[in-house]
Structure 1
């Protein structure tokens, strides 16, 4: 029975160049035996198994390492869902099945599966919750899609059933008249400058058009933006172009969130440079730089995003793969008129979504110095256009989730939007609401992935809140409860044990050495997104205010049983985001000493108190942050962007005490109004700079003119707080000479003397000004 079911599914898949799914539901051991039966029946050329078990005679992967399948395909992929069903792994497995191939799912009995808890559920049970608090809504929804979608065969293998199992559905589409899609043999377009081999390696007309567009990268000053759903061959096209450009002698710099994301680019580039004979003349280096050298002297080399954005070695061409997965700040580094650049981005996929890229970055790219050309790839490479398994995976994992259309949201009034909870039961029952809310999160955050869908529906520490206008979700926040941990757990955390799902308490306890920090209860904003049609109109700030009002306590009160002591957030710090969170009432307590490998940003943690206990937590950590930065800015934070430093300090609620001696005031006043030198009292200058940046001289929030302009604030950070050499500070900030930079620093301290100067300091100033 299993053999016949598998053969029928495989036969139809091959006839239509589509994929099929065979779900073997029931006892695990019987499922594994049935999977072997199915594999032997279809005799695939290649098979991979993703399971927590070992000892299969096929290629093996663990569920948490299913990304190893990326860039490779198989005729059959078996996903064992019994001990650890990871939604991300399902997405990777679907993507690894070739047209004409089978995805075999080994699952518990479908009716029982939503009630089964496994090792993935353990990861959702963050303290103080247990695995019994985790629900099975994601699996309930998933089972419904398995039973409803075409192309999915189901066999029940319950213990005690018939020998071969019971067929619940055969999954056949029964469209016998469907013909296999034919593809036009690719050829080089007229007047093509890339070698004919680059075009002959293309598999679709879309790929051919993309490679032709990449020809524009040969001279500097051009940009190509390639957008596609997953499996359309954009990375292959980029790799063929990279190989062709390197063969012409160009230095091609490739970056992506990780090298595995760019592996296809390098495979195709090497193939073209070697003339189809890998290992002949092209040379792939074994070191971490991941480099292919062409006989012409050109090369294709990989660097991580933060490093690549600095354009080391002055490349001729840059190719950014999975661009949607990188922050806009890094992408801006590639907008340089001295080179040409390609941005390749996935529109819908489990590794990132292109909507944020399109919304946030496209305008800046078009306003820049590069001539921009757009290419869209729609035709799948490995399977037919109407493959039912692609549609099933998109729905089951919400890969194609989208926010409400712009026309339905544009013009929504802030005051008329309704604040409401998005309960997981309601989201499970209302597919449109779930799609809009999750679609907003996907659009705003490239890290939103299928695992997050399971967390949203099942994790006991997570909840969602939204603003809804005319029935449409215009802003949404995903929230995580943290803290409230018992003394024993706090002790273990303080002594180095990691406690899942408690990011802010963990940092404050283990890194900043506050054993009591995990006792207050917090609510962290994991994700927040506002529909781009109403962005910058206050919806995000209002949503945060509503959340704090719902979960917090009135001033002078303790949080109630369901409330929290503080709300918090952790994110990659940029000046814009620091400003947003500060204006929303959040205050800085930490700035990480290391950069995120992908974003290149330092992470900020900010709190907003919601009870007396939260206020106490904020007060002591804000003061500690202030004191750390006074010394750390010339050490661990010496290279942090000065605008990020200024933004983080501006959001620190702990004023800097000013207690300068008369000798120190003489040095400060002398450097500001007379012939004195900064070097005579650097500590005094540092205290005044800290006080000024914390108290907020530079944004004029109160409607008054700022004390310092942007360049003067950067001068205080770079020279006084970070201790950079005069020469480098002058060059970076555009002063004509180091002498001019020194004079500018003295000028910048004049209003600081006016603000903080004692009677003695003002008398000293009078000696030089007569005022």
Structure 2
């Protein structure tokens, strides 16, 4: 029966160039046996060359992947993918598996009995049971919703496996839709436009007219100062189009620099570029251990080469063209490096992708791109490459994993005022019952973060330590906050954390305890803002501040402190400072997701919270005095100023008379900064922590030269001074008001000697 059902599903999928899903629900061992039957029925002899299995078990005769490593399937296609959902059902892995199934292919899901599955707890649920919660506190709402989608969407066959053998198997749904190939499948390959500058083979290789339009737009990259933005859902061929264009540009002699979050994301670009260049009789390139050529040389001196995002941002070798693939997954800070009018650049990005790309590119970077020196052209690809446009599995996966989650349309919320919004809890049961509410809330969370993944949807619905709050206007979500309860841990857990054991879901207590060596830090109860987002149609109208005020009022009596950790930018530091949060930590390395140094800030509510803040604010102040010339030497000076200004620990000044003579002499007379750098550093810390009256350029000067210890020449050049001497004079001028503000009686008498002359 299962073999026949699989054959029918596969036959229909091939006829319609769509995909189908076969759910084998019941005992795990029976499910594995049934999966083998299905594979043998649809593959020639069951040889398994085009089959992949994702499971916590090993020993299959097919290509194997573990659920945590399912991203190895990205960029690959298979006729059959089997996902074992029994021991560890990871939503991210499901997204990867769906994407790996080719048109005409079959996704096989091995699940517990569907009616029982929401109450089953597995190893993924263990990851949601953060201390002090246990796995029994994790709910099954995500699976409940997931099972409903399996039973509701077309193209999904469900077999309830009999406990005693195949004779007890029952087909709940056959999943057949009656679809066959549409007329659009017969459309021929695109041809080159009459005035095309790329070789005709570039267009003839395209599979859809959408791809050809993208390649046509890429022709503009041959002229410096142009930008092309290509957006597409997964499987539309944007990377292939970019690769064909890169190859054509290299054949014309251009140096094309390609970057992406990882080389595997750019593998398709290099594959298509290599094929085009090889078709012109060239076969050469450097191949890395990870597989695939990372540099392809073309005749005439052109080339296509890969560099990691951090390396590519330096524009090594002065490329003519840059291609940034999966741009939405890169930090805005890195993307800005490519806004150089001396080259052309393509930004290619997946929308609604199951890699978890956020909307930083579309929302935050778009404004900077349009205000920059490049002429921008937009292209969107809608036609699928590997399966038909109306593939039912794509629609099912989009709904099941909320890959298409979006905030409310702009027109529905534009013009809304803060006073019109109502504060409400987004209880998981309410979200489960209201698909529109869930979609808008999750869509805003996606918009707020670079990497929101299907796993995050499961956390929102099931994790016991998380809660969500929102501002709603006329039924539309205009702002949302995801909150995590942290701390309140017992002495034994705190001791284990102090000794290096990771305690999931307690980010701030973990940093304060294990990294900053405070064994008591995990005792007070905290509430961390994991993410907060305001609809972009009403940004800068006070909704974020109003939402935080409501959160503080609701939870203030139940916690010792509020906290937040985020990629620090000057704008965000000002926002959290205004909300009453104070800096206690700035990471020494940049965050992988945001590309920024992460700040941790606290807002105390009780005596225990104030004690926690007091000792860590003082420790932060002391660390930064020395750390800014070491681990934080390259931090943006505006970030340094914002972090120090939000520090609640005052800076004690105890300068000797000799040090005051040096400071006063350098400020008002012929003295030199080099005679007492420590004194200048203490004064700079006091001024920035206490809030100075200096202008922005002077504050940057204090950070770059005095606190970060950079050479005079680089400081003068970076801050736009006409000469090193002018920069030196400006530093003395900046210290004049600091002498007046902080000077002792001795210092002021020394100062009067200069102003009376």
SS where residue 190 of structure 1 aligns?
coil
SS where residue 146 of structure 2 aligns?
helix
Residues of 2 paired with 1:178 and 1:638: CA distance?
A: 61
SS where residue 181 of structure 1 aligns?
helix
Shift of 1:291: 3.0
Counterpart of 2:749?
763
Instruction: Give the stretch that moved more between structures: 367-376 or 411-420.
Output: 411-420
Does 2:582 match 1:579?
no
Counterpart of 1:108?
112
> Structure 1 length normalisation: TM-score?
0.95
Counterpart of 1:158?
162
Residues of 1 paired with 2:171 and 2:712: CA distance?
A: 78
Shift of 1:598: 5.1
Q: Assess, with a 3 A threshold, how the Cα gap between structure 1 residues 130 and 152 changes in structure 2: closer, same or farther.
A: same
| Contact 1:10–1:42 (8 Å) recurs in 2 | yes
Residues of 1 paired with 2:255 and 2:710: CA distance?
A: 32
> C-alpha offsets along residues 233-256 of structure 1, whole Å, 9 cap, x if unaligned?
111111111222222232222222
Which of the numbers 593, 602, 606 marks the counterpart of 2:597?
A: 602
Shift of 1:377: 0.4
Shift of 1:746: 0.3
Task: Could you tell me which runs of 5 or more consecutive residues in structure 1 were left unpaired when the two chains were aligned.
Answer: 554-562, 698-706
Which of the numbers 261, 283, 287 marks the counterpart of 2:286?
A: 283
> C-alpha offsets along residues 608-652 of structure 1, whole Å, 9 cap, x if unaligned?
112111111111001000000001111111111111111111111
> C-alpha offsets along residues 654-678 of structure 1, whole Å, 9 cap, x if unaligned?
1111121111111111101111100
Shift of 1:569: 1.0
Residues of 1 paired with 2:311 and 2:493: CA distance?
A: 39
| Contact 2:15–2:181 (8 Å) recurs in 1 | no
> C-alpha offsets along residues 491-512 of structure 1, whole Å, 9 cap, x if unaligned?
1111111111111111111110
Counterpart of 2:40?
40
Residues of 2 paired with 1:312 and 1:525: CA distance?
A: 39
Residues of 1 paired with 2:188 and 2:610: CA distance?
A: 68
> C-alpha offsets along residues 524-553 of structure 1, whole Å, 9 cap, x if unaligned?
111111001110011111111211221113
Runs of 4+ in 1 over 6 A off after TM superposition: none
Counterpart of 2:97?
93
Residues of 2 paired with 1:549 and 1:263: CA distance?
A: 50
SS where residue 548 of structure 2 aligns?
helix
Which of the numbers 242, 256, 266 marks the counterpart of 1:238?
A: 242
Does 2:531 match 1:500?
no
Q: Assess, with a 3 A threshold, how the Cα gap between structure 1 residues 533 and 760 changes in structure 2: closer, same or farther.
A: same
Q: For residues 489-638 of structure 1, what are the structure 2 equivalents within 5 Å?
A: 489-553=493-557, 563-597=558-592, 599-638=594-633
Counterpart of 1:725?
711
Which of the numbers 223, 226, 237 marks the counterpart of 1:219?
A: 223
| Contact 2:450–2:593 (8 Å) recurs in 1 | no
Counterpart of 2:3?
3
Shift of 1:576: 1.3
Residues of 2 paired with 1:622 and 1:276: CA distance?
A: 64
Residues of 1 paired with 2:85 and 2:705: CA distance?
A: 57
Does 2:407 match 1:412?
no
Counterpart of 1:704?
none
Residues of 2 paired with 1:756 and 1:230: CA distance?
A: 60
Counterpart of 2:126?
122
Residues of 2 paired with 1:246 and 1:65: CA distance?
A: 34
Does 2:654 match 1:668?
no
Which of the numbers 366, 377, 380 marks the counterpart of 1:362?
A: 366
Residues of 1 paired with 2:360 and 2:709: CA distance?
A: 37
> Structure 2 length normalisation: TM-score?
0.97
Which of the numbers 677, 680, 694 marks the counterpart of 2:675?
A: 680
| Contact 1:575–1:643 (8 Å) recurs in 2 | yes
Q: For residues 129-148 of structure 1, what are the structure 2 equivalents within 5 Å?
A: 129-148=133-152
Residues of 1 paired with 2:168 and 2:743: CA distance?
A: 89
Residues of 1 paired with 2:265 and 2:591: CA distance?
A: 17
SS where residue 109 of structure 1 aligns?
coil
SS where residue 290 of structure 1 aligns?
strand
Residues of 1 paired with 2:359 and 2:452: CA distance?
A: 12
| Aligned residue pairs, count | 752
Counterpart of 1:26?
26
| Contact 1:351–1:446 (8 Å) recurs in 2 | no
Residues of 2 paired with 1:598 and 1:298: CA distance?
A: 33
Q: For residues 434-473 of structure 1, what are the structure 2 equivalents within 5 Å?
A: 434-473=438-477
Residues of 1 paired with 2:356 and 2:51: CA distance?
A: 27
Counterpart of 2:480?
476
Counterpart of 1:297?
301
Superposition CA RMSD, Å: 1.7
| Contact 1:253–1:308 (8 Å) recurs in 2 | yes
| Contact 1:281–1:295 (8 Å) recurs in 2 | no
| Contact 1:184–1:205 (8 Å) recurs in 2 | no
Residues of 1 paired with 2:52 and 2:166: CA distance?
A: 28
> C-alpha offsets along residues 207-241 of structure 1, whole Å, 9 cap, x if unaligned?
11111111111121000000111110111111111
Q: Assess, with a 3 A threshold, how the Cα gap between structure 1 residues 177 and 335 changes in structure 2: closer, same or farther.
A: closer
> C-alpha offsets along residues 329-348 of structure 1, whole Å, 9 cap, x if unaligned?
22111111011111111121
Residues of 2 paired with 1:326 and 1:714: CA distance?
A: 27
| Contact 1:664–1:681 (8 Å) recurs in 2 | yes
| Contact 2:408–2:440 (8 Å) recurs in 1 | yes
